[in-house]
Structure 1
Amino acid sequence: MPANVALVLFSVLIGVGCGGEGADPGAQAAPAVTVSPVVERRLSDERERVGQIRAIQEVTLRARVSGFLQERRFTEGADVAEGEVLFVIEQAPYQAKLLQAEAELARAKSELQELELELRRTRTLHERQVTSDAALDAATTAAGAAAADVLAAEARLKQAQLDLDYTTIRAPMASRVGRSAYDVGDFVGPESGSLATLLSLDPIHVYWEVPEQTLLDFRRASAARRRDGDEPIRVTARLRFGDGSLYEEVGSWDFVDNRVDANTGTQTARAVFPNSETILIPGQYATVLVQVGEPRKALVVPQAAVQEDQGGRFVLVVGSDGIAQMRRVTMGARDGIYWEVSQGLAAGELVVYQGIQKVRPGAPVSAKQVEPEAGLGGAS
């Protein structure tokens, strides 16, 4: 073997031997994890449902008489007051009919007055046995017919007045008016359909579907409370919009339908919400957060801290010695990013919710306590 090659090999062997002296192949830095303490929060039995907002009152305006549309006195999409004039149909023909009906009534009354006078004369003569029974009967019949003519004329006058009144279309309630289906100058009548639609906005209803089992459990719980003489279960509702924001007002549950939908296995429920600023609009969808009963105290951990295997759910608890240990837990209700712990943990214990995959139970960790935020997971 050449001398230079042997020298190189000798140097490598010496270097390897020296480099391995004192090294600990098992030594490894403790993984960094983020922990959160087990805390006590006030929780409520809250269910999420998809809800649709609907007006409490929806009125379709229709013409009750025919004629050319003479005025439209509202701005489309504006709020209108109860009794406010919205449409006016041409009134001249109906004013003329009203004058004619008044004249007919006056003539009928005049004829009645004359025939009643004639009846009194005939009755006096009949008492003196000057006129026959037939004459008295004829006078009586004529006066009766005249009285009927007066009633008919009064009815025609009333109808003429109604028709004239119907030319003015008013808002039956405080509401918001939609788009007008007709313009000034259009001919409208009872067959024209909707002129415009009014929707009441404050207060307003929200509807959602509830599984029949959920309502069955609620009815059983309510019956038990009644038997025990306890107060009824209080049900309130909140709304969460698509952007994640919450509606400020709280709604009250005021209706559940009287039957289960055979196709969906659900019952329709409803809550009424104040809507003075008209944030809620009919047809809009929102998530309904239904709270059943009063809030209660419970221990919670971040949902990201809870893992599951064949043995069930568990968390990794970091003790005062910095060692992570697996702990079996029983979980309850969820509340946002938190999850109720029914059994297995005590207040103040630290659980890992970030960096979980780096941890081996029984091994040390480098723990940093940080308040959890929505959207954080435990797989990083």
Structure 2
Amino acid sequence: METLEIDTVVIGAGVVGLAVARELARAGQQVIVLEGAGHFGEGISSRNSEVIHAGLYYPQGSLKARLCIEGRELLYDYCQRFPVGHRQTGKWLIASDHSQLERLDQVHRAAQANGVGLQVAEQDQLARQLPHVTAAAGLFSPRTGIISSHDLMVSLLGELEAEGGQLVCHAPVESAASDGQGHWLTVGGAAPCELRCRRVVNASGLAAIDLARSWQGQDPSTCPQAWYARGVYFAYSGKHPFDTLIYPVPEPGGLGVHLTLDLAGQARFGPDVEWIPEPDYTVDPERRSAFAKSIRRWWPGLDPDRLQPAYAGVRPKLAGPDAGFMDFRIDDERHHGIAGLVHLLGIESPGLTASLAIAREVRERLA
């Protein structure tokens, strides 16, 4: 098997992997991105809500809070400089009844601690702002928006290639090892080879924990267990009365069945939360009735017959359903003792929003 030497390898060509690769290439490193699938972004990067989050929900001082807020501003700036489809739609976070007011207030306090400005609306004001919505109170986030994740990945890849970097698809990493001299990757696929490299970033999404646990030269006890939460989306056919995003208060494991819009104005609802033993993108059409029941709590005018199964995403979780908040993990030498190796673990929402900030963080840690 041929052995090749390369400066830096990024494993995984989702939005975070491409953002990291582009950042490292711009810093002067020779970068190759390895992707096991036939195209970039075929995993969780193409199976999410495509929302630019403002940073409302995350505890002050957490990586999710800091990188979401930094990444939000980097992303808006990037979209204005490059041809990336996006729109700053704003978002309403609502308490559908008085039992949810305490949770809404908790989100408001978290957002204030993170420096995120929100507009507060009581029931009568909300009725004027959202006449089709039934709610006891709401918070409006003006910095929330939507983005074409595909456009973003195309742009990041173009910048990577302009800096001399390369994406190699059909190139799954079958084994990995580190010693005092560097890192060894055994790559399968159409052109099997061994890569010897100085730096490696494991940005393989749902597979990141399994790869880290199997990494020869690293103590597997330094890695968490992998958990998976599936979220299903339903599209809403035809017209609707909304021009902004609407979220209920968060639920365990996710942000609840919310209304998002694509850049054409089409509405979609989701995701729900279903804990599963392994990644599975199956959409069960029978979940429509549960969706309709949940949505009608705040939008009584919903026509359930217009809900159509769309797609499912899977969140890479670092703990199970009763664990509470879990932060991103960016595991570098301080965590596992191996120089030049970074594992990106549990990069779920707000990973898309935070992608450019995560890339900067990785570059600084590898430096």
TM over 0.5: no
TM-score, normalised to structure 2, is 0.18
Give the structure, 1 or 2, with the largest relative contact order (CA under 8 Å, sep 6 or more). Answer: 1
Structure with higher strand content: 1
